[in-house]
Amino acid sequence: MSSINDSLPVDENKISFGSEMSPFDQIALREILDGFGRKDLKILEIGSWVGLGSTQIFAEYCSILYCVDSWKGNLIPQHDNLIKRTDPLSLFNSNTEKFSKKVVPIKASSTIITEIFRPNYFDLIFIDADHTYNGVKQDIQNALPLLKKDGILCGHDCEGRVDESNKDIIMGNLDIDAVENVFPKFTHTHCGVVAAVSEIDLPVFLFSEKNEPWTILVDSQERMGLSTIWFIINELGSEKVFENSYAPVLVEELERFNIVLYRREYYGLPKWLGPIEVDTLTSDQLEDIDCIFKSYSLKEVKKFIAAYTDLLEKTNHLQAQANDLQKKLTEKDKLSKLRSFLRSIISSVQLQGRKG
Ligand SMILES: C[S@@+](CC[C@H](N)C(=O)[O-])C[C@H]1O[C@@H](n2cnc3c(N)ncnc32)[C@H](O)[C@@H]1O
């Protein structure tokens, strides 16, 4: 059994993805949203920019999506440059036109949410506006009461948690958008977001955290990466949130194998082993079963199955040849026994003749 090693590729600079959200952030958001198992969610997005990132995803899953943004941009050159050239709200409107019946832009500071929305209203609130520590902290505090009991609060740009090794650099950069090279897996770190999220007095989950089942994400081109999405589950367990995304699914049957997708990994399960409940076995137990292959890459699993099948055919062929040879040898053996038996009869007959 083989699996991916520990060396994850570094998430690329998000700008290179041509959107505010990397494909891995988009997958992470979809996994959270899929957990609801329905597409009539009431969603609040704080920070939408030109509506090409998170907005497009939320619009698919909502009955109503409120987008609160000052449309003044963040203190980063990309936003400044765009504002000099065009009006980001007009771009937002044209980019979300096909969802215009359910997407409601609200041009205001994010603090307005406490005044215009009633408590316990939203299924999901997403925070991706001002990335300074005070900005994020305030958005979190203001958003929590607006969430339903089984709602989810989540946000963008949290690359890790504050700890002894990074405390000084994080605490020294709370008021700027992002700095480089704090967490090795990411090119940039949003210190204000990391600090504010680390302080939340509720269990917070990070997609970027190692050893969580949701850490490694694979995009449609089978590139692996990490997401900076963080989330808080009000009264839902994390298993419940990912129940739909992580249930084992039969992807296809190939040769003498079933390919099953489970917790983002593909398993090549030999049919001759009978039914295998992947969700009831631990990784160690699966590890002990020979000829099960798992990988984050479907291509890799298919390659393994092809190689295994090829080997199996060659072995069977060799086995058939060996049987054949064995049979011939046995026949030859019988023949030589018969020959010596005949010879002994002939010589005894000859002896008898001579005697007679
Ligand atoms: C990083 S962008 C949002 C990107 C968007 N979520 C996406 O996926 O494409 C941040 C946005 O927050 C807005 N913003 C920043 N500070 C804000 C504040 N205090 N109130 C409202 N909007 C704010 C900016 O105008 C900008 O449009």
pLDDT in tens for each of the 356 residues of the chain? Answer: 322 223 344 444 333 334 678 888 998 999 899 888 899 999 999 999 999 999 999 999 999 999 999 999 998 988 999 999 999 999 999 999 999 999 999 999 999 999 999 999 999 999 999 999 999 999 999 999 999 988 999 999 999 999 999 999 999 999 999 998 888 888 889 999 999 999 998 888 898 885 555 566 777 777 778 899 999 986 655 556 666 666 788 889 998 999 988 877 888 998 888 887 777 777 677 767 778 888 878 888 999 999 988 888 888 888 888 888 888 888 888 888 888 888 888 887 777 766 65
CA–CA distance, 227 with 328 (Å, rounded to integer): 64
CA–CA distance, 234 with 153 (Å, rounded to integer): 8
Q: Does pTM top 0.85 for this prediction?
A: no
CB 121 within 8 A of CB 146: yes
**Ligand 1, residues at Cβ distance < 6 Å:** 20-21, 47-49, 52-54, 68-74, 109-110, 128-130, 135
Residue type, 36: F
**97 C-alpha to center of ligand 1: Å?**
19
**212 C-alpha to center of ligand 1: Å?**
29
Residue-level pLDDT at 7:
39
For atom 7 of ligand 1, which residue has the closest CA?
53
**336 C-alpha to center of ligand 1: Å?**
92
| HEC profile of the chain | CCCCCCCCCCECCHHHHCCCCCHHHHHHHHHHHHCCCCCCEEEEEECCCCCCCHHHHHHHHEEEEEEEECCCCCCCHHHHHHHHHCCHHHHHHHHCHHHCCCEEEEECCHHHHHHHCCCCCEEEEEECCCCCHHHHHHHHHHHHHHEEEEEEEEECCCCCCCCCCCHHHHHCCCCCCCEECCCCCECEECHHHHHHHHCCCCCEEECCCCCCCCCCEECCCCCEECCCCEEEECCCCHHHHCHHHHCCEEEEEECCEEEEEECCEEEEEEHHHCCCCHHHCCHHHHHHCCCCEEECCHHHHHHHHHHHHHHHHHHHHHHHHHHHHHHHHHHHHHHHHHHHHHHHHHHHHHHHHHHC
Planar angle of CA 69, 127, 20, nearest 5 degrees: 75
**223 C-alpha to center of ligand 1: Å?**
28
Nearest to 19 by CA among 69, 59, 67, 56: 56
For atom 27 of ligand 1, which residue has the closest CA?
49
CB 10 within 8 A of CB 184: yes
Burial class (CB in 10 A: 0-12, 13-18, 19+), 323: exposed
Residue-level pLDDT at 238:
53
Q: Which two tokens stand for residue 188?
A: 């940039």
**70 C-alpha to center of ligand 1: Å?**
7
Q: Which two tokens stand for residue 69?
A: 């943004």
Ligand 1 atom with the shortest distance to the CA of 54: 8
Nearest to 260 by CA among 292, 283, 213, 215: 292
For atom 6 of ligand 1, which residue has the closest CA?
48
Probe residue for ligand 1, chosen from 25, 58, 128 as the CB with the greatest number of ligand atoms within 8 Å: 128
Domains in the chain and their CATH numbers? Answer: 14-245 (3.40.50.150), 248-356 (no CATH)
CA–CA distance, 261 with 211 (Å, rounded to integer): 19
